[in-house]
């Protein structure tokens, strides 16, 4: 799942937003890539919230936050990933 903001050719901004509570994500993320099961990339505009959830048992990355803001992860487990569980970069 990817959450991001984009600016269309017309100049209109589209803002991605995620509010996730009590969700299980199993066997997510792509092997040998930077594509995490749950990924924020360039999401600045809206508040992002993940609570009371579990992301587990993937062959790639579990969660990635890159060049994003207003991301809150609370009472959530990211476990059992072969590559990286959580990556936060320039956020």
The string of pLDDT tens digits covering residues 24-34 is 999 999 999 99
Residue-wise pLDDT for 31-77, tens only, equals 999 999 999 999 999 999 999 999 999 999 999 999 999 999 999 99
1-25 pLDDT tens trace: 999 999 999 999 999 999 999 999 9
Q: What ranges do the domains of the chain cover?
A: 2-89
pTM of this prediction?
0.92
- Which DSSP string do the residues of 9-78 spell out, in sequence order? TTS-EEE---EEES-EEES-S-TTSS--SEEEES--SS-EEEES-EEE--SSEEEEEES--SEEEES-EE
**Token code pair at residue 55:** 């992301």
């Amino acid at each position: 799942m990817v959450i991001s903001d984009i600016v269309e050719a017309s100049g209109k901004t589209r803002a991605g937003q995620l509010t996730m509570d009590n969700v299980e994500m199993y066997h997510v993320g792509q092997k040998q890539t930077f594509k995490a099961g749950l990924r924020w990339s360039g999401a600045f505009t809206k508040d992002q919230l993940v609570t009371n959830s579990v992301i587990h048992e993937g062959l790639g990355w579990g969660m990635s936050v890159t060049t994003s803001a207003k991301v809150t992860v609370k009472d959530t487990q990211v476990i059992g990933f072969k590559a990286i569980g959580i990556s936060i970069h320039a956020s």
